Amino acid sequence: MPSDVEGSYSRRAAEYTAALGSIATVHPSDLALVTSRASSVVGPLLDAGCGPGHWTAHLASQCADARGVDRVPAFIEHARAEHPTVPFTVGDIDALADPDEGYGGVLAWYSLIHHEPDAVRRALDEFARVLRPGGQLLVGFFLGAAVDPFDHAVVTAYRWPAEALAGELDATGFAIVETHTRIGAAARPRPHGAITAVLR
Ligand SMILES: C[S@@+](CC[C@H](N)C(=O)[O-])C[C@H]1O[C@@H](n2cnc3c(N)ncnc32)[C@H](O)[C@@H]1O
**Which domains can be identified in the chain, with CATH numbers?**
5-199 (3.40.50.150)
Question: How far is the first Cα of the chain from the last one, in angstroms, to the nearest whole number?
Answer: 28
Using the mean position of ligand 1's atoms as its centre, give its distance from the Cα of residue 154 in Å.
11
Pairwise CA distance, residues 85 & 71, whole Å: 20
- Condensed to tens digits (0 to 9), the pLDDT of residues 35-46 reads 999 999 999 999
- Chain centroid offset of residue 27 CA: 15
pLDDT in tens, 13-56: 999 999 999 999 999 999 999 999 999 999 999 999 999 999 99
Which atom of ligand 1 is found nearest the CA of 91?
21
Cα 162 to Cα 177: distance, rounded to the nearest angstrom = 13
Measured CA to CA, the distance from residue 53 to residue 57 in angstroms comes to 6
User: How far is the centre of ligand 1, averaged over its atoms, from the C-alpha of 163 (Å)?
Assistant: 22
Burial of 26 (0-12, 13-18, 19+ CB in 10 A): middle
- Would you say residue 10 has pLDDT above 60? yes
**What per-residue confidence (pLDDT) applies to 3?**
67
**Substitution candidate for ligand 1 out of 9, 10, 107, 111 with most atoms within 8 A of CB:** 111
Tell the residue nearest (CA) to atom 20 of ligand 1.
92
Q: Is 66 left (phi over 0), alpha (psi -120 to 50) or beta?
A: beta
Residue whose Cα lies nearest atom 15 of ligand 1: it is 111
Question: Whose Cα sits closest to atom 10 in ligand 1?
Answer: 111
Ligand 1 site residues (CB inside 6 A) read 5, 9, 20, 49-51, 55, 70-72, 75, 92-94, 109-111, 113-114
Nearest protein Cα to ligand 1, atom 8? 109
Residue 86 · residue 67 · CB < 8 Å? yes
72 CA closest ligand 1 atom index: 25
Which of 177, 171, 181 is closest to 40 using CA atoms?
Answer: 177
| Percent of the chain with pLDDT strictly greater than 70 | 98
Segment 97-124, tens digit of pLDDT:
999 999 999 999 999 999 999 999 999 9
Runs of H (alpha helix) within the chain = 5-11, 13-20, 28-39, 54-62, 73-82, 120-130, 162-172
Look at residue 1 and tell me whether its pLDDT is greater than 90: no
For residues 35 and 83, give the distance between their C-alpha atoms in angstroms, rounded to a whole number.
18
* Residue of the CA atom closest to atom 16 of ligand 1: 111
| Buried b or exposed e, range 74-109, using 16+ CB within 10 angstroms | bbbebbbebbeebebbebbbbebebeeeebbbbbbb
